[in-house]
Amino acid sequence: MTSRKNYYMMNEFKYINWIQKQIKYPPSVFIKSGDDAAAIRLNKNRFLLVTTDVIVEGIDFLRNKTSGFDIGYKSLAISLSDLAAMGGAADSLYAVATVALRPKMPNRFAQSLFRGMKKAADKFQVTIIGGDVSVVQGPTSISSTIMGIGQKLKPLTRSGARTGDAIMVTGQLGGSILGKHLRFTPRLKEARHLNRKYRINAMSDISDGCLADLDHILKKSKKSAVLFANRIPISRATWQLSRQTKKLALKHALTDGEDFELLFTCPVKEALKILKDRSLAVPVTLIGIIGTGQGIFLQDVRGKIKKIKPKGYEHKL
């Protein structure tokens, strides 16, 4: 008989790692499972980027507090953020979506949900080409898959960070639960600009939290990092949330999920150029340095350095 505890052995990332070990990839797959998107080579110069996400009622949104429009918008935008994390390397974008609704869901809600999807699609030139609709005796869920064809830009991955690289983020961090987690702008434009103009070694988006997503980069790159506490860009929402939770604003900024900002590494010379680049629509901040070894370290305002755990949001399975 299977022990009850075996049902709860794996967290989200352990389960994903286990799945990856079960898959054998053909040579045409040159970016495999484990990054923000997978990449398939179509010919010498063209490739297909593919990413998929699911959002579920009660976990990613609250049905009685969230409009159908916002739910639909988020369902597509999170996958667009994954493509941004690959350096925005794909040009022509296409989407399919699967919607599982509760029985007797009002037509107005279902239509509003699609309008939200279409808003995100139109804003980022995505063509919705199909999908599926079903009814479920449980929470509403929406799954989106976005495919992008590219050839002009090289896809960026989590595995390219190098010792001495600057660690950079776009925008401000934390407090997304107060609204940003529903209405955010995937940083596709910024990712394409950075990828086209600068030497970027590694990139991801912040979906699980700054520390957790930095840890993904570090493990893939086999590196460590030192973050500067006084350089973390803390959002106004984070300060507001900190007053409510009584937790340090810095902790929220480092561990809150669903910021959907870009997190990337590049040579310091490139970082200094990026900091002066006025053509970027959002601010970019240098928050740390890549080192050798393993782990994440935080340098406080007094210069004291301590190792910290890569905490962030993860689904409990």
Share of the chain above pLDDT 70, in %: 96
Q: What average pLDDT does range 108-122 have in this prediction?
A: 97
Question: Would you say residue 317 has pLDDT above 70?
Answer: no
In whole angstroms, give the CA distance from residue 46 to residue 40: 9
Question: Would you say residue 99 has pLDDT above 80?
Answer: yes
Q: Provide the angle, in degrees to the nearest 10, between the axes of the packed helices 68-85 and 107-123.
A: 30
Q: Is residue 155 part of a domain?
A: no
The domain that holds 50 is classified in CATH as 3.30.1330.10
Question: Would you say residue 152 has pLDDT above 80?
Answer: yes
Of 122, 150, 178, which closes a domain? 150
Q: Is residue 7 part of a domain?
A: no
Task: Tell me the helix, strand and coil percentages in the chain, rounded to 5.
Answer: 35, 30, 40
Summarize pLDDT for 253-305 with one digit per residue, the tens: 999 999 999 999 999 999 999 999 999 989 999 999 999 999 999 999 999 99
Residues 258 and 182 in one domain: yes
Confidence band, pLDDT 50/70/90 cuts, at residue 313 = confident
Q: What average pLDDT does range 82-104 have in this prediction?
A: 96
Q: Which domain holds residue 122?
A: 23-150
Q: Is residue 251 part of a domain?
A: yes
pTM of the model: 0.93
Over the chain, what is the mean pLDDT?
93
Summarize pLDDT for 127-141 with one digit per residue, the tens: 999 999 999 999 999
Residues 216 and 107 in one domain: no
